[in-house]
Amino acid sequence: MNSQLSFLLNRSLFSLDAQTFVDMGPNLLNFAILVVIMTYLLYKPVRNILQTRADRVESDINDAALSKKSAEELKAMYEQKVRDIELERGTVLEETRKQANSRRDQILDEAKAEAHDMKDRATRDISAERERVKAEVHQAIIDISADMAAKLVAVTIDKNAHEKLFAEAMKELEATAFRPMETA
């Protein structure tokens, strides 16, 4: 074991002599050039792509926030319009009810007036018919009385007396035929 330890101590794992630095120089230069080239070829485009993507995501988030705000405003306007429509519907229904009640009352008043007019006309027609019937009955009574009197007189009176009574009855009949009738 001693021998191995002495080997390690005499010979270092990394021998940093001049030749090592000379060999490392071109490798470091190549690495630096490669880093610069890769930075321009890969890092900047990738960074630009990532920045563009981040900007687009931020823009989408802002658009979504604006859309949400716009949707909330539209929803509020819609709800307000629904409330306004409900109020207007209630007003229209109330106005329609009032108009219907007014029209119903008007129709009832017209029907009552028409019924009253019909009743008055019927009363007048009944009175006129009653007067006509009275006149017909009066005339029939006169005719029957005259016939009965004629038969009675014909049996009891001779022909001269009969003509005299007939003439008197005719005079009385003519006098009463043009006289207005008395109402009972």
pLDDT tens column, 61-115 = 999 999 999 999 999 999 999 999 999 999 999 999 999 999 999 999 999 999 9
Domain region containing 166:
15-177
pTM value is 0.37
Least Cα distance to 16 among 24, 27, 8 occurs for: 24
Residue 4 lies in a domain: no
Residue 5 lies in a domain: no
Measured CA to CA, the distance from residue 122 to residue 179 in angstroms comes to 27
Residue 101 three-state SS: helix
Residue 70 lies in a domain: yes
Measured CA to CA, the distance from residue 92 to residue 98 in angstroms comes to 10
* Cβ atoms within 10 Å, residue 150: 15
Give how many domains the chain has, as a whole number.
1
Contact 130, 183 (CB under 8 A): no
DSSP code of 163? Answer: H
Residue 52 lies in a domain: yes
Residue 124 lies in a domain: yes
pLDDT tens column, 106-129 = 999 999 999 999 999 999 999 999
Measured CA to CA, the distance from residue 53 to residue 57 in angstroms comes to 6
Residue 116 lies in a domain: yes
Residue 33 lies in a domain: yes
- Please give the residue that has the higher pLDDT: either 143 or 97: 97
